[in-house]
Homo-oligomer: A and B are copies of this chain.
Amino acid sequence: MSETDLIQDQHDAATQLDEDDRLKPAFVRNVLDAVEAGDNEAARALVEPLHPADIADLFELTPNDRRADLAKAITDLLDGDVFAEMNDYVREDLIDALEPHEVADIASELDTDDAVAIIEDMEEDDQRAVLRALDPDDRAAIEEALSYPEESAGRLMQRELIAVPEHWTVGNAIDYLRGHEELTTDFWEIFVVDPTHKPVGTCQLSWLLRTPRSIPIGDVMQREQTLIPVDMDQEEVALRFQKYALISAAVVDPNGRLVGMITVDDIVHIISEEAGEDTLRLAGAGDGDINEPLHLTIRTRITWLVVNLGTAMIAASVVGLFQGQIARFALLAVLMPIVSGMGGNAGTQTLAVVVRALATNQLTSSNTARMILREFRIAVANGVMLALLIGGGTWLVFGNGDLAIVIALAMVINNMIAGLAGVLVPVTLERAGVDPAVSSAVFVTTSTDVMGFLSFLGLATLWGLGG
């Protein structure tokens, strides 16, 4: 055992985690056994040392029908932080089982953004009941947050922040922070505002701590460059945090006044989700959440499959045009899936690259032409290489030079189609305001299927193969 394993083990022994930072199956079993045996004391003793994120995981790893029992057994450990870390579907399930005043108790412990995340997905009646049970300040803050569009900065931001006037000194700011019990303790930067409460700068706490008390804040702060409009989409917010390596950012209303703050810890899971969801969307797998109720998953997936069934029928009808040819020369039916399939593979490669480049703002109007040319050159190079391989193989195996030439030509043509469709489809959809990850694949594979069959069977007919 290496020394690093040793450290890892110390970490694990304390927290019951495997090397992926997930709870060990044996630990989950022990907790659930204790719950089943009615030994709530034992269950609590096991769960208490866990980090809130791990308690949230415990619920995700527990089968649906046993989550409510677990919640009842360890109810006092189920605080707001645990709910804030929990998967949406799992949380909704649990919240449904709680009384409005219990939800209100949990929500009132949390920063606005986490409270909103819990309340926003509730049924309207339940939501109103929870809001009524909150104290007026919390209620007003949450109601305001709910007035912003879903997935916007207004939903993500917390109202709890530190704002100070520009003329204050570093000492003034520190005294203010020490003297006001009611201020938030979770912040990484303070915002400097003008008399109309518009942000003019940001000051990292490390700068406050490294600067003599007598220096004015205005001389320490960095001028504000990255204000987040309150209705900005969370995906844009995430990209801005990434690009400028932000730790926190000021959120401003349409009049430019500071209304909230977003911190990077609320953004990291959005960065990961937004980056990962393209994988799922390209495959037509919805949001791919493994905690989603089964009937919703089935509905999402069958929708995509039915659309693809339609396009598969279009491609099949192209094959249908050549039935006579195929009946005379059945080898065509053997080889045709190779041409269409390889076009599909090449098109998917290009599509994946383009969708990622669009999602990360790497592909913009400044370099679209360059990208199209680049992908076309790749398509020609790879098309020619594949054509030589399949043409040579066909000639060797079937000793039919004409068939070899036809399949080689069809391969080059379909690769070029794949390369062009792989760029043009997502770029066009993006410009039309449609998410390219959701719908591009259908168009690209339809193109490569149809053109694969048409070029191969069409050329074979023109060439008089099997005629």
Q: Which A residues are closer than 8 A to B by beta carbons?
A: 2-4, 6-8, 10-11, 14-15, 18, 20-25, 28, 51, 53, 60-61, 63, 174, 177-178, 183, 185-188, 204-212, 225, 227, 229-232, 236, 239-247, 252, 254-256, 264-269, 271-273, 275-276, 278-280, 282-285, 288, 290, 294, 297-298, 301-302, 304-306, 308-309, 312-313, 315-317, 319-320, 323-324, 326-328, 330-338, 340-342, 345-346, 348-353, 355-357, 359-367, 370-371, 374, 377-378, 381-382, 385-386, 389-390, 393, 449, 453
Q: How far is the CB of A212 from chain B (nearest CB, A)?
A: 7
A324 nearest in chain B by CB position: B330
Whole-angstrom distance from the CB of A277 to the nearest CB of chain B? Answer: 8
Given contacts A275-B275, A327-B327, A330-B330, 17 further A-B contacts (CB under 8 A): A25-B364, A53-B244, A178-B209, A178-B210, A178-B211, A188-B204, A188-B247, A205-B208, A264-B265, A275-B276, A280-B356, A283-B352, A288-B356, A294-B378, A301-B378, A312-B337, A313-B338
List, in ascending order, chain B residues with CB within 8 A of A205's CB: 188, 205-206, 208-209
| A-B contacts, 14 listed (Cβ < 8 Å) | A18-B364, A20-B364, A185-B204, A188-B188, A205-B209, A283-B351, A288-B356, A302-B385, A309-B389, A323-B331, A326-B326, A327-B330, A332-B333, A337-B337
Report B-chain residues with C-beta under 8 Å of the C-beta of A23: 366
- Is the pair A60, B177 in contact by a Cβ cutoff of 8 Å? no
Q: Are A326 and B333 in contact (CB under 8 A)?
A: yes
Contact (Cβ within 8 A) B334 A320: yes
User: Would A359 and B268 count as touching, CB distance under 8 A?
Assistant: no
Complexed CA–CA distance, A366 and B57 (Å): 11
For residue A210, which residues in chain B have a CB less than 8 angstroms away from its CB? 177-178, 183, 185
Contact residues in B for A334 (Cβ distance below 8 Å): 316-317, 319-320, 323
Q: Given A209-B174, A276-B278, A365-B25: A345 and B268 within 8 A (CB)?
A: no
Quick one: closest B residue to A276, CB to CB? B275
A62 to chain B, nearest CB (A): 9
A302 B272 Cβ-Cβ under 8 A: no
Pick from B247, B285, B366: contact of A264, CB below 8 A: B247
Task: Decide yes or no: A4 and B298 within 8 Å by CB, A25-B366, A389-B306 being known contacts.
Answer: no
